[in-house]
Chains A and B, each alone.
Chain A
């Protein structure tokens, strides 16, 4: 454990989720689960964030928003896809406006299952992401630009 995994800051974005997973991500902050005891803070600023938590699948309009948020986060960074929609599109994968899971736009490090994902599994997913974050820091890996976004990430 170093300073990085002791106090990871999280950026939460709702891609096209039904809110079920969103409110469970927020429930992790409530006194029952209280992730702040691990130093985890939900920030609204991508420049401050280490972990990008995304719920819901990608659709035509938020594709650029997700790419943009990812590109704005400083290295090292990890992405956690929370819920089945973020992992594969879930029950909505056959909808005309849904492209698929988060991994069709940005690289994903941890997939959290469930519809809606339970707070316990979300916390577990983020803890798993922290060890990946540590590794990335040790190896000094620069994240590759998001696939399909051209050189230097999307603007």
Chain B
């Protein structure tokens, strides 16, 4: 029996773009226990509801996270709309769906790049990020912002996408899809990636379920939860099947995200074909009085925005529950028993978004 040593991982570490600290208890090269500690980017933005009026708080909600900012803004707006009984126009719901799916494409490609970097495949990192620029160009053209879009508001959306542009976007997706197929082939079939990821950081189906895993982390372990199936925005009118893999290892989680890229492209095509003409917003009347939990599928899993109003311009409480927080207990489970050299790959495999998690 060898002596136990503790190796600190983070908060500043080459593979982590964001700070999280994990104390790894090692026995030789094997991790016995992982103890995460968080709080390096906690800002406390939920308390800003007391200082901003409820339509202005959308800007703060969007800045919870720069990667999935549109979905944060949308989920907050959905919650306020439910409290105030606002019927959002159909066209706005479709536009929200389209932007959500472009956000998912951009987030997944970003993650695939970082994952390739953690595996040590620099070329693939560059290829993924090059493909991602196409998505950012579309977002910039249609909303004005590359990463923070600011196009969602209480009662609808801020701007419309003209029909001609929608047609062109759908056409451009064909070229984009071909490029993605090349990248996807490498992620799914390359020997070096399979060697680094298959059988690494295994999370069983039961563990994923009982520890509360969400999003691709849960779907990689065979738990088919996808909040888009609840039919918020326009998802109820579109056809798709959640991607589920059963391996439970890093390879399965990677495969889920790779395959979801194509689901997103398909959803955008369907939405662009079905989108009805009409208004894109309704003016909210009065102030929110009541409370609501709004849920949506973020690229990383289930996002919950809770709002509570008392009839004044300022909300009483906002609470944000993000998928990375729910994916931390599964991460601790995966890390126990792994090799030290696999830690970066496993940590990245849950797609940690610390900015969201700590708010």
Alpha-carbon separation in the docked complex, A98 to B46 (Å):
13
Q: A50 interface residue, CB < 8 Å from B?
A: no
Chain B residue contacts of A22, Cβ below 8 A: 17-18, 66, 355
Interface residues of B in 40-70 (CB under 8 A from A): 40-45, 47-48, 51, 59-60, 63-67, 69
Knowing A65-B11, A116-B146, A116-B148 touch, does A18 contact B65 (C-beta < 8 A)? yes
What separation, in Å, do the CA atoms of A32 and B147 have in the docked complex?
16
- Tell whether, in the assembled complex, residue B44 and residue A98 are in contact, meaning their CB atoms are under 8 Å apart: yes
Indicate if A104 sits at the interface (CB-CB under 8 A): no
Asked if B132 lies at the interface with its beta carbon under 8 angstroms from chain A, I say yes
Give the CA-CA distance A43 to B113 in the complex, in Å: 17
Binary B-proximity of A71-96 (CB < 8 A = 1, otherwise 0): 00000000000000000000110111
Q: Which of A12, A13, A20, A95 contacts B43 (CB 8 A)?
A: A95
Decide yes or no whether B14 CB sits under 8 A from chain A.
yes
- B42 and A61 contact, CB distance less than 8 A: yes
Also in contact, A23 and B67, with CB within 8 A (given A59-B41, A65-B12): yes
A29 to B39, CA, bound (A): 28
Q: CB-defined interface of B137-161 with A at 8 Å, one 1/0 digit per residue?
A: 0000000011110000000000000
In the complex, which residue of chain A has the Cβ closest to the Cβ of B137?
A32
Extra contacts besides A23-B17, A46-B12 (13): CB < 8 Å? A13-B19, A14-B19, A17-B41, A17-B66, A18-B148, A22-B66, A23-B110, A24-B147, A31-B129, A92-B63, A95-B45, A97-B44, A116-B147
Q: Supply 26 A–B pairs (Cβ within 8 Å), ascending by A.
A: A18-B66, A19-B65, A20-B67, A20-B147, A20-B148, A22-B17, A22-B18, A26-B129, A27-B136, A29-B129, A32-B130, A43-B14, A45-B14, A56-B41, A59-B41, A62-B11, A65-B40, A91-B63, A92-B63, A94-B51, A95-B47, A97-B43, A98-B43, A115-B63, A116-B145, A118-B146
B-side residues, CB < 8 A to A, are 11-15, 17-19, 39-45, 47-48, 51, 59-60, 63-67, 69, 110, 113, 126, 129-130, 132-133, 136, 145-148, 353-356
Q: Which residues of A are in contact with B by a Cβ distance under 8 Å?
A: 12-24, 26-27, 29-32, 43-46, 56-57, 59, 61-62, 65, 69, 91-92, 94-98, 115-116, 118
